[in-house]
Structure 1
Amino acid sequence: MKNELWQLSACELAEGIREKQFSAEEVIYSVISRIDEHNPRLNAIVADYREEALIAAREADRAISSGEKTGELHGVPVTIKTNVDVEGKPTPNGLPAFEDLIAPADAPVVRNLKKSGAIIIGRTNTPELSMRFTTDNPLHGRTENPWNEEASPGGSSGGASSAAAAGFGPIHHGNDIAGSLRCPSFCCGLATVKPTFGRVPAWLPSATAERGMLAQMISVQGAICREVRDVRLATRIMAHADPRDPFWMPVPFEGWPEMPEPVRIGVTTESYDHPIHPDIVESIERAADYLSDAGYAVERVATPSVNEAAESWLRYVGNEIKTYLMPVAMEHGSETIQQIFEWFFQIGGVSDAEDYREGIKERTSMTREWNLFLEKYPLILSPYLMQPVGAWDSDTKNIEELRKFLNSGIYSLCVS
């Protein structure tokens, strides 16, 4: 049993450590054994903190033995993506030039996990500037999908998804501006949620400047896990207050808003003239049947615009990529990320300053339209990607392959 502790959920591990069914040290050793067995092939964890993790685990066990008050994730192993600050450690974000960029303090999400008693066992891989839908970079190399070595593990939190699917602990931090939590979870068969803006505090102590307006509004922190209950637990802990994020909202995590019974779920497989794979449609129809059998009021619906929202995202985020990230890519990035950015601009266009301002207004109108729709249908069942998981390098082949992927992901961009 103790060799198989890596298989347990965060909820089960936290309870087992608290009830002295097994020790935090045993948990860490079990996960280390799993990492040693599979990470040489997967390259999901690119910075190994095992020695520090074992020291922290022994201290966690001492606290339990002493009867001290402990946090909800006391002794539970977690990983942190390499684009978020862990005090005293590098935050390279996939760039060799930033290999020695040492974080002066913990990011809010890291601080909250540590306060809960979680033990950081390592850091997970990300593409250059965390701006690809796969995970490969010149610093740490390519991360593989545990289910299929030729398939993408997703991006940009592909190290987290690969680690989660392989059993390198139950909770894996990631973040999401266009789908970087959701895409890897889709690719590796995992659970996640993109939290609402302001729910989880965010800040990068190592950053030399604030992010662009849209990046601040749509980039969020979250967790990738094998079980939904672990996503809920991790998100609740990550969402604790931090004054360094002025946009954090003190909204209670527990409790559902009152909704008339039965809860209505809107179902759509509308593809907006883009190809949608029959297996995706079949999966949605099957899920709709399960929900109907569970007592939900499931209805086929026409949603507010998805395609227009996705096109808007491409155009206006393209402005911020060109303004803030392209100069970094040109100075420090590879030809691969430079080419992908150029294709991205060609596909989505780049707004000028006036168009950008209009885009912010347009986003408000679209959000209002969706809010009104969600009053009637508080849950929506839709595609995420409209095509199966692609090859790990499909976004580097040519502009048409990248265009196909972005068209497949319009629901992801709409939500973003």
Structure 2
Amino acid sequence: MTKPLWQFDAVDISTLTRSAEVSVTEMTAAAIDRMNAKNPALNAVVEDLSDQAMARARALDADLASGKPTGPLHGVPLTIKVNVDQKGHATTNGVTAYANDIAPDDAPIVANLLRAGAVVIGRTNTPEFSFRADTDNPLHGRTRNPWGDHISPGGSSGGAAAAVMAGIGALGHGNDIGGSLRFPAAANGAVTVKPGLGRVPAWNPSQKKERGMLAQSMSVQGLIARSAADLHLSMPALIAPDVRDPFHVPLPWRGETPASPVRVGFTRETYDFDLHSEVSKALDTARDALVDAGHVVEEITPPDIRDSGLAGYRALMGEVKVLMGPDIRAHGSSTIQTIFDEYFEQFPPYEGEALLKVMAQRSHYAREWSLLLDRYPLVITPFLPQPFFAPDRDTQGADGVQEVLGSALWSYAMNFMGLPAGSVPSRLADLPHGPQPINIQIVGQRWREDLVVDACVAIEDRVGRMCDPLWVRMGENTSDP
């Protein structure tokens, strides 16, 4: 092999380890060495699980040698975000007061990944309360983007995306209530699919009370990868049922084969925000890639997501104010408290009767999109109208919050309606501060994450993986075996 083991994608790793061409112990050691080399500068992984990972790797090698069956992720090194329970480890959620909240058991997503044969090498950073599109907190510190300090790593799964793109594990677990998978994917040039409502079982055994209804209906668990094909390999393991989530939807990963060719809607609409020329070019590339892949792409005027997006985020802010507000005031830093004050100012929370009415209206918004997606099973949209922002932009008053979240209507609207949405890089922009990936979004029919990932694969086939130019920028050898 002419490239180091840490550069292999999850599909290749699974093939190599299941055939015993490379041992899980060798693969895990390579991922840990990469983590030790690059994480000190990035601070993406905030809990090192090297010893535990190596013990598991040896056990998996022994299982293979004894003829025991292997899972689809056999020997794949990955990371888990610190806001999800992993037995015996603190679910800090980026909050100093939670530093010693030790999980009594694994969350469903952790259990599913382990059952599939994955090896957890570390736990990744998140902002306080996992409620920023940037990643910094007083407990673990700031995560940096491997492309450079001029770009935020995104949030709230910023540690996961920075780690994956720097070569620290092939996959990174994350979650998304308003964009927390897609923001960091876009910031780092990674690929992800935000699953639809009910697709991935979710629950934290350490939680002392149930989450609010908006959190239950908008938040989902997922993975960040550097290769779109890795999502086809890994997502079926994530969606395996877990009885602890009573609202999980037990559907297979692959749905019925759609009519061919697949019709795809296309929009450049960014409403009250200017569309940057580089984002426009990224949209064009995504469109052309899907046309070349045999899809029929038509420009459309979609339902106005200003209404659904702002309704959803203001409803979420209403719930946050009541259910999270006391904890934020008691345990949050002055920075996060100031940010939430600005959130509440820019997205006035729905409360009382108004909150009940907007929750009822949610069905109307979802129905409009169901009708559109019946005609166009996929829709290409912008994700952000501008290239990704700089670190701490959301701390810079109303203008900062508007650039970070106000312009992200295409992000949180999909959470409110419970639709799957992928984020995939389709352009490497040459900007004044240096090269920067530009991701676009692909919205899919309900429970058709597989179609979204198919489209991501087609775009990646045309554009290439963004990790390759990143690793060249980092001074790495990226030659193929």
Q: Normalised by the shorter chain, which TM-score bucket?
A: over 0.9
Aligned residue number for residue 112 of structure 2? 112
How much does 1:252 deviate? Answer: 1.6
1:387 match: secondary structure: coil
How much does 1:295 deviate? Answer: 1.8
How much does 1:2 deviate? Answer: 8.8
| Residue 335 (str. 1) matches residue 365 (str. 2) | no
How much does 1:37 deviate? Answer: 1.1
2:194 match: secondary structure: coil
Structure 2 gaps, min length 5: 416-481
Asked if the contact 1:2–1:30 (Cα under 8 Å) also holds between the matched residues in 2, the reply is no
Aligned residue number for residue 263 of structure 2? 264
- Partner Cα separation in structure 2 for residue 3 and residue 207 of structure 1: 43
Aligned residue number for residue 347 of structure 2? 348
- Partner Cα separation in structure 2 for residue 209 and residue 377 of structure 1: 40
Aligned residue number for residue 22 of structure 2? 22
Asked if the contact 2:236–2:252 (Cα under 8 Å) also holds between the matched residues in 1, the reply is no
- Structure 1 stretches of 4+ moved >3 Å: none
After TM superposition, the structure 1 stretch with the greater mean CA deviation from structure 2, 367-376 or 230-239, is: 230-239
- Partner Cα separation in structure 2 for residue 2 and residue 58 of structure 1: 25
How much does 1:18 deviate? Answer: 1.0
How much does 1:290 deviate? Answer: 2.1
1:298 match: secondary structure: strand
Relative distance call for 1:82 and 1:217 in structure 2 (3 A) is same
| Residue 397 (str. 1) matches residue 396 (str. 2) | yes
Asked if the contact 1:144–1:150 (Cα under 8 Å) also holds between the matched residues in 2, the reply is no
Instruction: String of CA shifts for 1:131-177, please: whole Å, max 9, x gaps.
Output: 00000000000000001122101000000000011001111100000
Asked if the contact 1:45–1:163 (Cα under 8 Å) also holds between the matched residues in 2, the reply is yes
- Partner Cα separation in structure 1 for residue 238 and residue 231 of structure 2: 10
| Residue 91 (str. 1) matches residue 91 (str. 2) | yes
How much does 1:342 deviate? Answer: 0.8
Aligned residue number for residue 136 of structure 2? 136
2:310 match: secondary structure: helix
Asked if the contact 2:191–2:228 (Cα under 8 Å) also holds between the matched residues in 1, the reply is yes
1:193 match: secondary structure: strand
- Partner Cα separation in structure 1 for residue 180 and residue 97 of structure 2: 23
- Partner Cα separation in structure 1 for residue 406 and residue 93 of structure 2: 26
- Partner Cα separation in structure 2 for residue 192 and residue 294 of structure 1: 20
The amino acid across from 2:150 in the alignment is E
- Partner Cα separation in structure 2 for residue 314 and residue 400 of structure 1: 18
Aligned residue number for residue 241 of structure 2? 241
Aligned residue number for residue 153 of structure 2? 153
- Partner Cα separation in structure 2 for residue 14 and residue 167 of structure 1: 16
2:85 match: secondary structure: coil
- Partner Cα separation in structure 2 for residue 328 and residue 322 of structure 1: 10
How much does 1:3 deviate? Answer: 7.3
Aligned residue number for residue 413 of structure 1? 412
Asked if the contact 2:235–2:253 (Cα under 8 Å) also holds between the matched residues in 1, the reply is no
- Partner Cα separation in structure 2 for residue 3 and residue 264 of structure 1: 39
The amino acid across from 1:40 in the alignment is P
The amino acid across from 2:401 in the alignment is L
How much does 1:291 deviate? Answer: 1.6
Aligned residue number for residue 121 of structure 1? 121
The amino acid across from 2:49 in the alignment is Y
Asked if the contact 2:225–2:231 (Cα under 8 Å) also holds between the matched residues in 1, the reply is yes
- Partner Cα separation in structure 2 for residue 236 and residue 95 of structure 1: 32
Instruction: String of CA shifts for 1:21-41, please: whole Å, max 9, x gaps.
Output: 111110011111111111000
- Partner Cα separation in structure 1 for residue 289 and residue 106 of structure 2: 42
How much does 1:200 deviate? Answer: 0.4
- Partner Cα separation in structure 2 for residue 233 and residue 20 of structure 1: 19
2:264 match: secondary structure: strand
Aligned residue number for residue 68 of structure 1? 68
| Residue 101 (str. 1) matches residue 101 (str. 2) | yes
1:36 match: secondary structure: helix
C-alpha RMSD of the superposition: 1.1
- Partner Cα separation in structure 2 for residue 2 and residue 128 of structure 1: 41
1:372 match: secondary structure: helix
After TM superposition, the structure 1 stretch with the greater mean CA deviation from structure 2, 323-332 or 404-413, is: 404-413
After TM superposition, the structure 1 stretch with the greater mean CA deviation from structure 2, 129-138 or 115-124, is: 115-124
Asked if the contact 1:326–1:341 (Cα under 8 Å) also holds between the matched residues in 2, the reply is no
How much does 1:70 deviate? Answer: 1.7
Asked if the contact 1:314–1:349 (Cα under 8 Å) also holds between the matched residues in 2, the reply is no
Asked if the contact 2:133–2:183 (Cα under 8 Å) also holds between the matched residues in 1, the reply is yes
- Partner Cα separation in structure 1 for residue 98 and residue 351 of structure 2: 30
Aligned residue number for residue 305 of structure 2? 306
2:4 match: secondary structure: helix
Instruction: String of CA shifts for 1:201-253, please: whole Å, max 9, x gaps.
Output: 00011111101001101100000000111122222101101000011011122
Asked if the contact 2:287–2:380 (Cα under 8 Å) also holds between the matched residues in 1, the reply is yes
The amino acid across from 1:60 in the alignment is L
- Partner Cα separation in structure 1 for residue 283 and residue 96 of structure 2: 41
The amino acid across from 1:306 in the alignment is I
Relative distance call for 1:264 and 1:353 in structure 2 (3 A) is same
- Partner Cα separation in structure 2 for residue 376 and residue 111 of structure 1: 37
Relative distance call for 1:293 and 1:116 in structure 2 (3 A) is closer
Asked if the contact 2:72–2:234 (Cα under 8 Å) also holds between the matched residues in 1, the reply is no
- The aligned runs of 1:152-191 (5 Å cut-off) are 152-191=152-191
The amino acid across from 1:90 in the alignment is A
Asked if the contact 1:274–1:407 (Cα under 8 Å) also holds between the matched residues in 2, the reply is no
Aligned residue number for residue 37 of structure 1? 37
The amino acid across from 2:405 in the alignment is L
Instruction: String of CA shifts for 1:363-414, please: whole Å, max 9, x gaps.
Output: 1100001000100011101101111111111011212211122232111021
After TM superposition, the structure 1 stretch with the greater mean CA deviation from structure 2, 221-230 or 400-409, is: 400-409
Aligned residue number for residue 364 of structure 1? 363
Number of equivalenced pairs: 415
- Partner Cα separation in structure 2 for residue 43 and residue 2 of structure 1: 28
How much does 1:294 deviate? Answer: 2.3
After TM superposition, the structure 1 stretch with the greater mean CA deviation from structure 2, 271-280 or 98-107, is: 271-280
- Partner Cα separation in structure 1 for residue 182 and residue 98 of structure 2: 26
The amino acid across from 2:129 in the alignment is L
Aligned residue number for residue 196 of structure 1? 196
How much does 1:273 deviate? Answer: 2.3
- Partner Cα separation in structure 2 for residue 109 and residue 209 of structure 1: 19
TM-score, length-scaled by structure 1: 0.98
